[in-house]
Amino acid sequence: MRKSKFTKAQQQAILAQYDAGTSVADLCREHQISAATFYKWKKGHQDDSKAEERRLAELERDNAQLKKMYAELSMNHEILQEGYSMLKKWQAQDVKKK
Residues 6+ apart with CB under 8 A from 4: 11
- pLDDT, tens digit, for every residue of 66-78? 999 999 999 999 9
Q: What is the pTM of this model?
A: 0.52
User: Would the pLDDT of 94 be above 90?
Assistant: no
Percent share of the chain, pLDDT over 90: 70
pLDDT grade, residue 1 (50/70/90)? low
14 with 38: CB under 8 angstroms? yes
Q: What are phi and psi of 32, to 5 degrees?
A: 55, 55
The per-residue pLDDT for 13 is 92
